[in-house]
Chains A and B, each alone.
Chain A
Amino acid sequence: MEKRVTFDNRLLPYLLLAPQIVVTLVFFFWPTAQAIWQSVLIEDAFGGNSRFVWFENFERLFNDPGYYASVRLTVVFSFLVAGLGLALSLLFAVMADRVIRGAETYKTFLIWPYAVAPAVAGVLWGFLFNPSIGIVAWMLQGVGIEFNYVINGNQALLLVVLASVWTQLSYNFLFFLAGLQSIPRSLIEAAAIDGAGPGRRFWDIVFPLLSPTGFFLLVINVIYAFIGTFGVISSLTQGGPGRATEILVYKVYNDGFRGQDLGGSAAQSVLMMIVLVLLTFVQFRFIERRVHY
């Protein structure tokens, strides 16, 4: 953790650190402090008076069924995005790993969606499922399913999940593939000689050894579902129809900028920060315990 050799200058390190510290101070700590401060105020929408109200904003939140609805929705949403995202990418990674020739080519074809912004992904999927001209919506209609995510809340949620999973596929795929390739071949061969067929080998050997990677990806995907999917929601549904897709992070934005409820929005921010810090804490703790066999 420490370097044996260091330089002796007194002033220089501060100078070198300064830009990063300044930027972080002004654009990270200051706003975070403000959020905490604002969460205990009720502000007049036009910046007039503000009253110090202790935890009234938080109380209001905890008594607001709308907030709980959003919390429940976020949990369900995260489950779906993380679950579907991990399962699909694991499948692709396992299949790609078996194909010795061509694994590299498949990799190229599967990782580029990472470069697509979630917001743009939302636009693309909105186009595919557009009630009037979307090709998939049209195909669904052909088999008798009416698809209109603008009025159907569940369908809207489904669409948002699909678009979010699509963007994350490549990231998950990459890590799973790397994890698979780090399992020594001799382990698989030993299992084969012991008599395990491919199915058993996967569940008894590969899956347990892949679990550190899997857990890591789970945390990443959950954080993504909490936060990174903002662009998708904003492009596709803006939290609608009627709050059916208003997950917590979007609610923070909505209440703060559209609803002008600065106190409430700040309180939500603070709560989310706490959850996120906990999640990151869990991630780091677990990463440390990633045993290297």
Chain B
Amino acid sequence: MVENRPFFTFLSHFIVLVGVLIVFFPVWMTFVASTHDQATMLRAPVPLLPGTHLIENYRTVLLEGYGQRFGSNPMLHTLINSMIMALGVAIGKIAISIIAAFAIVYFRFPARMFFFWAIFVTLMLPVEIRIVPTYGVVASLGMLDSYAGLIIPVIASATATFLFRQFFLSVPDELAEAARIDGAGPFRFCWDTLLPLSVTTIAALFVIQFIYGWNQYLWPLLITTKESYYTMVMTVSRQANVVDSVPSWNLLMAMAMLAMLPPVLVVVFMQRLFVRGLVETEK
């Protein structure tokens, strides 16, 4: 800033700190709640500082499950389901997108533009508005209560294909020409040249898609009836709406922390890739 007014700088810091507080507050309260016992959590005001039951609560939730209406499925299993789904979505989407983008960019064939526009259209309509018929299709394919059913419909939209296409277009033509002169066919070119160049884009996209897959709520909710396929986010949300006489807030909040933790860790530790992924996706 050009001026040299210390008050301004102080004010700026202050406002941003307020922002950070607003952002952290709900999570802090949740964390605190997950470290107390049930009794403490039934009286208002609830504590502002952590308690001593952290390990006990998390152990209960992970290994014994949250009991009551949603059965006593240990959350450990649910966590694993979420992990499988998130990884499946991220890897699956990247895999089919890269080869599709490669085909569209580096080959000439009839109906190429048709396919391109067909894929482009999918960018516009997220799954929530076609939820009912999509469910119908999945049900009729017998894919309810399965990992395939969880993962595949989620990767149907072509955001990643579009992104890779943009990226490939920006790769200099000279590289492909050099590869051709060297006698490399499409596979070699892709493997030896294109993929190494794409590593950062792939990593960035992986971060975004992992979060996207992990945070899927509506879709797992609809197509799973067996507890063994439930995911963390849907379980936490559903559990919060179960009307119990004596809710176990401490356990519920522990579950919420578990549902939040992996994606948050990914964002924090891969911040640069994450930011890049966001920016690239929206171009």
Contacts and interface: CB of A to CB of B under 8 A. Distances in A.
Q: Say if the two chains contact directly (CB < 8 Å).
A: yes
Contacts of B275: 111, 174
A132 interface: yes
Interface stretch (A10-18, A54-62, A65-73): A10-18
B253 A95 contact: no
A19 B103 CA distance: 12
Interface residues of B, number: 108
Given A9-B186, A124-B26, A96 B43 contact: no
B30 A124 contact: yes
Contacts of A166: 22-23, 26
Interface string B111-126: 0100100110011111
Given A5-B177, A20-B158, A280-B124, A256 B152 contact: no
Given A106-B20, A188-B2, A231 B27 contact: no
A124 B237 contact: no
B67 interface: no
Interface string B233-263: 1101100110000000100110010011001
15 contacts: A4-B177, A6-B107, A13-B109, A20-B119, A28-B130, A30-B133, A100-B1, A106-B16, A117-B214, A124-B26, A126-B240, A166-B26, A188-B2, A234-B218, A249-B129
Interface of B: 1-3, 8-9, 11-13, 15-16, 19-20, 22-27, 29-30, 33, 41-46, 48, 95-97, 99-100, 102-109, 112, 115, 118-119, 122-126, 128-134, 136-138, 141, 152-153, 155-158, 161, 168-169, 173, 176-177, 180, 185-186, 189, 211, 214-218, 221-222, 233-234, 236-237, 240-241, 249, 252-253, 256, 259-260, 263-264, 266-268, 271, 274-275, 278-279, 282
Given A256-B132, A257-B132, 16 more contacts: A5-B173, A17-B103, A19-B96, A23-B156, A31-B130, A99-B13, A106-B16, A112-B267, A118-B215, A126-B240, A133-B43, A175-B278, A235-B241, A253-B131, A269-B130, A276-B126
Interface of A: 1, 3-7, 9-10, 12-14, 16-17, 19-21, 23-24, 26-32, 34-35, 38, 88, 91-92, 95-96, 98-100, 102, 106-128, 132-135, 137-138, 166, 169-171, 174-175, 178, 188-189, 192, 197-198, 216, 220, 227-228, 230-231, 234-235, 238, 249, 252-253, 256-257, 262, 265-266, 269, 272-273, 276-277, 280
